[in-house]
Structure 1
Amino acid sequence: MVDHIRMAVAGVGNNVSALLQGIEYYRPGPGDPSLVGVTHPELNGIRVEEIQCVAAFDVDPTKIGQPLTEAIHGSTNNFPQIVDLVGESVTVEQGILSDQIRPSGVEQVVQRLRDTEAEVLLLSLPTSRPAAALAYAEAALSAGVAVVNCSADPVAREPGLLRRFASASLPLLGDDLASQFGSSLIHRALLDLLARRGLQIDGTYQVNLGGNEDFRNLRDAGAPKLTSKLNVLSTVPGVASLSVIPSGGHVPFLMDRKVAHISIEGRGWAGSRVAVDVRLEVQDSSNAAGVIVDLVRIAADGRRRRVGGFLGAASTLLKSPPPAEDGWER
């Protein structure tokens, strides 16, 4: 067994709730629970349950000062409770406000990361908070901590910042998760399949619906997410028309579930029509946590090996990794 990964989180939302509850769910006990749903039970010698949260930051007044065990179920969070967290003594602290970036606030984060000896800072912020995401990344760099950015806001795609992390031998992984089994993954696979089989793709679209806070936010600020999804889908050759709606609507009834509708129309032999329609329903935050658990372990292993910048092992787990140039692992 290796030393536990000491992880800090910025943003105590559904994804963090799903991640922390999942880590507890997979913790070995009498009978050793099944690892169904885990892509890599062990990654770089690190098991799922060997991740420990040592600090948490948020800007929601109802979460600040609360035990993390309670905050993950508070406010607008609606990921279901699947286990009780045990032995968790972290208190949620004031985070960095996106519209009030103060040096004193950033320095408080730096000091907390140092005091807790955090190894990885997980950025699980709402999309369209680029200033806050970059401020957290700067704090992590000052504290000597690796970063995993889950949001679609560009952090690892900032070339200067990525090179500075590389020079400091600190991993910087992002941006935007490719969900464990998500709509963009399936959409891209179907487009690739049709293209490989020689079909002409005349048009395709993807519409996503959900009931969590992320979907409510994307309804009003979905531009970075749209760009990220197009990064995945637009490289398929010969697609005449492509439309993606990251949040077709916030449907509270769905809670933390996501429903995606994917449609593809094309032509095959002698112009014969082909149509594919897919409906996907997933627990949205579980879909994220199943990837985050690998990214955190990749980042921690890189930091321990003193390999900085973007680590190639993370590229398939992200929708918008940085271009393969300066700052990538050598």
Structure 2
Amino acid sequence: MSGKIRIALIGIGNCACSLVQGISYYSENDFRNGLWHRLIGNYRVSDLEVVEAFDIDARKIGLDLSEAIFSKPNVAKKYFDVNPLNVKVKRGLLYDDLSYHLRNSFDVKSGEPCDMIDVLKESKVDVLVNLISSGLDKTSKSYAEVAIKSGCCFINATPSLVASDESTVKSFKEENLVVVGDDLMSQFGGTAFHKGILDFMHNRGIRIMKSYQLDVGGGTETFNTLNEDVKFMKRNMKTKAISIELPYEFETVAGTTDYVDYMQNDRTSYYWIQGEGFLGSSVRFDIYLRSSDGPNAGNILLDVIRAVKVAKDEGYFGAPLDICGYGFKHPPKIIKLKDAYENFVSKYIR
């Protein structure tokens, strides 16, 4: 089955900014550099259509999506001029108290949210994509409930436990819908790189003793990670995702350590790995990676959105592990990076 995939975006932040630019850019020509997979199932990027958008920031609500993606507090880079999309940003939900850091980042629009269920049904949305800030657990779970009542599949890019919650997955499955998550993993960001290096060293016979990954970056999401609850939640998820790469226990820690405002949407990840080789000789790995959060999420989101629609078309309801493991740090069952990619490719890339 093919045709348009009608998308609604929640949280018009830096990731949404890069995603919307990417859809416009690669819809014109999907042979341009940077696109990872031209086809997922039978769907191309040009088959994606954003038809609704939701946010809580007064500076974005009411704007065309093409303008809202470049509105404050967004700091993602403008790579491509997006034509007007005729999609006005509507007031979304907020059921959590904002942390100090988010209160100082957002200008929350007063008043009641729009009737999202009616809006999503009227616009015949296929996939609802949750890109809101970390730590807003009640709000993310409410969006998942909205998706079920609206007949939409749901992508949870946040660390809130949605796709890894059995009762939530059961509700989606009963309605013949797909839910995937949790906590989006970048294409070539800190976690994916860390997992890949550990796997390579292990396959070359190095015994890993210890490792750590420290991230420093800008942007609203990194600023929000200064909140201790959010920081430790994300650190635990990253650490669990990394520890699965080896068949034995080793000491590892991963997470964001600080925010630097002038880095904007960029991030620097520092890695230190200690292992042992032949005769117990020391092998140490000390390197850093510089990347941009928004674009690093773009290819994964393009793949996951299309894969979710393929799964729905083919009756693969609930929380498909081959999508969750490929695109997220905390799927219902954490699996190795290489295995996750091979599972995804075998089912969705034809």
Q: TM-score, normalised by structure 2?
A: 0.86
Please state how far the C-alpha of 1:33 moved relative to its aligned partner: 6.1
The match for 2:221 is 214
Per-residue displacement from partner, 1:15-37 (whole Å, max 9, x unpaired)?
01100101111123xxx463322
Equivalent of residue 269 in structure 1, options 278, 281, 288? 278
Displacement over 6 Å in runs of 4+: 104-107
1:203 paired with 2:175, answer no
The residue correspondences of 1:43-62 to structure 2 (distance < 5 A) are: 43-62=40-59
CA contact (8 A) 1:127 1:222 kept: no
Q: Secondary structure at the match of 1:27?
A: helix
Q: Secondary structure at the match of 1:222?
A: helix
The match for 1:24 is 24
Please state how far the C-alpha of 1:198 moved relative to its aligned partner: 3.4
The match for 2:199 is 192
Rounded to whole Å, the distance in 2 between the matches of 1:90 and 1:66 is 8
Q: Percent identity?
A: 28
Rounded to whole Å, the distance in 1 between the matches of 2:34 and 2:81 is 19
Rounded to whole Å, the distance in 2 between the matches of 1:44 and 1:287 is 22
Q: Secondary structure at the match of 2:27?
A: coil
The match for 1:328 is none
Rounded to whole Å, the distance in 2 between the matches of 1:300 and 1:105 is 31
Per-residue displacement from partner, 1:56-106 (whole Å, max 9, x unpaired)?
111112111222111111111011112222240111111111328xxx968
1:249 paired with 2:246, answer no
Please state how far the C-alpha of 1:193 moved relative to its aligned partner: 2.6
CA contact (8 A) 2:26 2:35 kept: no
Please state how far the C-alpha of 1:239 moved relative to its aligned partner: 4.5
Please state how far the C-alpha of 1:306 moved relative to its aligned partner: 3.8
Please state how far the C-alpha of 1:47 moved relative to its aligned partner: 0.5
Per-residue displacement from partner, 1:237-281 (whole Å, max 9, x unpaired)?
345321112x21111121111110111012212221110012111
CA contact (8 A) 1:127 1:217 kept: yes
Per-residue displacement from partner, 1:34-64 (whole Å, max 9, x unpaired)?
3322221111111012111111111112111
Q: TM-score, normalised by structure 1?
A: 0.91
CA contact (8 A) 2:66 2:84 kept: no
Rounded to whole Å, the distance in 1 between the matches of 2:30 and 2:160 is 36
Per-residue displacement from partner, 1:87-142 (whole Å, max 9, x unpaired)?
40111111111328xxx968811111111110000000111111100000000000
CA 1:312/1:158 → structure 2, altered by over 3 Å: closer, same or farther?
closer
RMSD: 2.0
Equivalent of residue 149 in structure 1, options 137, 156, 164? 156
Query: Which stretch has the larger CA shift, 88-97 or 301-310?
Result: 301-310
The match for 2:139 is 132
The match for 2:235 is 226
Rounded to whole Å, the distance in 1 between the matches of 2:221 and 2:212 is 21
CA contact (8 A) 2:30 2:38 kept: no
Instruction: Give the length in aligned residue pairs.
Output: 317
1:318 paired with 2:328, answer yes
The match for 2:345 is none
Rounded to whole Å, the distance in 2 between the matches of 1:278 and 1:105 is 48
Q: What letter is aligned with 1:56?
A: A
Q: What letter is aligned with 1:26?
A: Y
CA contact (8 A) 1:8 1:121 kept: yes
Please state how far the C-alpha of 1:176 moved relative to its aligned partner: 1.3
The residue correspondences of 1:3-22 to structure 2 (distance < 5 A) are: 3-22=3-22
CA contact (8 A) 1:106 1:135 kept: no
Please state how far the C-alpha of 1:170 moved relative to its aligned partner: 0.3
Rounded to whole Å, the distance in 1 between the matches of 2:329 and 2:252 is 17
Rounded to whole Å, the distance in 2 between the matches of 1:148 and 1:64 is 22
CA contact (8 A) 1:12 1:124 kept: yes
The match for 1:298 is 307
Per-residue displacement from partner, 1:147-180 (whole Å, max 9, x unpaired)?
0111111110110010111111100011112211
Rounded to whole Å, the distance in 1 between the matches of 2:83 and 2:312 is 28
CA contact (8 A) 1:7 1:119 kept: yes
Rounded to whole Å, the distance in 1 between the matches of 2:192 and 2:253 is 15
Rounded to whole Å, the distance in 2 between the matches of 1:57 and 1:33 is 27
Q: What letter is aligned with 1:38?
A: L
Query: Which stretch has the larger CA shift, 126-135 or 177-186?
Result: 177-186
